[in-house]
Copies of this chain bind each other. A is one copy, B any other.
Amino acid sequence: MQRTLVNETPEKVGQEVLLKGWVSTRRDHGKLIFIDLRDRSGLVQVVCGDQAKGGTGRYFPKDLRTEWVVEISGMVKERPIKLINEKLLTGKIEIEAKEIKVIAQSEELPFDTGLPVLNASLPMVLDYRPLSLRHPRNKAVFQVQETIISSFRETLKKEGFTEIQVPTIVPTATEGGSQVFKIKYFDAEAFLGQSPQLYKQIMVGVFERVFTLAHAYRAEPSVTTRHMTEYLGLDAEMGFIDDFQDIMDMVEKVVKNMFERVEKERSEELAIFSATVPKISEKIPCMKMREAQQVIFERTGRDNRNEPDLEPEDEREICRFSLEKYDSELIFITHYPTKKRPFYTYADPKDPEFTNSFDLLGRGLEWVTGGQRINEYQKLLDNIKKWGNKPEDFDLYLQAFKYGMPPEGGFCLGAERITMQILGLENIREASLFPRDMERIDKKLSVKKVEK
């Protein structure tokens, strides 16, 4: 008999089906046992009756436990109206078990997986990641993440971008040596890339518009709820821009399609977190960093008007302001100071102390960062020196500009960060299947010293 997926059962009322999956929960009601069976398509209720007590089931699963893998053959029956579960896709039917075959057993679980939220600390959840990810709430995070990533690709493909693959092993620590992981590379040394930035810029010379999904690595020796040592960057770069407004317009297309698709395809998952995608205005509002600081000063009396960046508290305040004034949970902040941005950032010709760069803030945090880049070879070379770097470390990168590069710019989103922000998660680790930080790679790191 061919397997039926759980989500196909509602169309098979009155038919016998063969289901395969995991026992998600089991409830004993005397002569009846109820099993929630889980497969990749959903959950369905299975009723097992004890023959000895007058039930119809041939196998009464007294010893069957949570997470056991089973094959169940049975009859699809409509539920009595008062027992319909509207929340469940299969809530109008149930399976009357005829036979249950155990495929694999499970050892006793370290926590109760039947609760709406696991009653376990984050370290425990991570210690038992293969199990905790099976829980509907944890699993939902990565279903939403898949849609986020797939919508990013979809929007940009439509806009004429080419998807590229860039390496993560890099020859030099281009963005500051101390926060870079070092690799023993045969007899030489190499590093883990902090972003695909230089490669995506090079590729503008080839495909004009490119995007890439690239692992990025930061050896920051601190543990926060918003940072990991390895994360997934959703990176894009585009040539022949008229202005850096073009880049922000592209970001807007990306996030709008993202929110639409998450809302449409992942409503069940959003509901688990009581989450909604951010409200945005017809056009996402936009203001300069100095204007934002002025607004913050006027609203709170906090005078950061000469600071070179927004403080976390400033970012939260300006998001509140945006929601109140523009009815938008997202807002672009532009023109960050030249000194605070990387060497390749394009200075505003009208005010070179500030750059044609932007952050997209939402719900109090940075969602996207981007800007226009310097596309003139000589200016780029000068800036590399000015920022204290060695031009020979940027040989390959500089070539792209030496041989003709149009005005260009781009942006980057962190996949885990966006997932966290859409679902309102407390810790970014919840948005990574196997999060890496200073203290953990799968399990807590034992303090094992490296040979020096």
Contact = CB atoms under 8 A, between A and B. Distances in A.
Interface of A: 3, 5, 20, 22, 39-41, 67-69, 103-107, 109, 128-131, 133-134, 139, 142-143, 145-146, 149-150, 160, 162-171, 181-190, 192, 199, 202-203, 205-209, 213, 215, 217, 219, 221, 229-230, 232, 240, 375-377, 395-397, 399-400, 402-407, 415, 432-434, 436, 438, 441-443, 445-452
Contacts of A213: 213
A207 B403 CA distance: 47
Contacts of A377: 107
Contacts of A67: 403-404
26 contacts: A5-B160, A39-B208, A40-B160, A67-B404, A103-B407, A104-B375, A130-B206, A130-B396, A131-B205, A131-B403, A133-B203, A146-B164, A166-B433, A167-B432, A168-B230, A171-B442, A183-B183, A184-B184, A185-B219, A186-B221, A186-B445, A187-B449, A187-B450, A188-B449, A199-B433, A395-B443
Contacts of A397: 130
Given A171-B443, A434-B199, A105 B69 contact: no
Report whether over half of chain A's contact residues are helix, strand or loop; otherwise say mixed.
Answer: mixed
Contacts of A187: 447-450
A399 B128 CA distance: 7
Nearest to A239: B40
A50 B162 CA distance: 37
Given A215-B215, A230-B167, A240 B433 contact: no
A446 B164 CA distance: 28
A186 B219 contact: yes
Given A39-B208, A402-B107, A448 B20 contact: no
Q: Which residue, of A3, A160, A433, has the highest number of chain B Cβ atoms within 10 A?
A: A433
Given A190-B441, A206-B139, A169 B230 contact: yes
A417 to B, nearest CB: 13
Given A199-B433, A219-B186, A396-B442, A403 B107 contact: yes
Contact of A181 (B134, B184, B199, B405): B184
Nearest to A212: B433
Nearest to A238: B40
Given A69-B405, A104-B375, A130 B208 contact: no
B230 A441 contact: no
A400 B433 CA distance: 14
Contacts of A188: 445-450
A169 B441 contact: yes
A434 B221 contact: no
A144 to B, nearest CB: 12
Contacts of A104: 375-376, 404-406
Contacts of A3: 240
A436 B188 CA distance: 13
Contact of A240 (B20, B169, B205, B406): B20
Given A396-B442, A441-B169, A404 B106 contact: yes
A168 B229 CA distance: 11
Contacts of A69: 404-406
A215 B169 CA distance: 10
Contacts of A185: 181, 219, 229, 441, 445
Nearest to A102: B404
A207 B436 contact: no
A443 B397 CA distance: 11
A434 B171 CA distance: 11
A229 B185 CA distance: 10
B208 A167 contact: no
A392 to B, nearest CB: 9
Nearest to A401: B104
A206 to B, nearest CB: 5
Contact of A232 (B165, B217, B403): B165
A130 B400 contact: yes
Please provide the 8 A-B residue pairs with the shortest distance between their CB atoms, ordered closest to farther: A40-B208, A106-B404, A130-B400, A67-B404, A171-B441, A130-B399, A133-B206, A106-B403
Given A171-B442, A215-B168, A404-B68, A184 B109 contact: no
A115 to B, nearest CB: 17
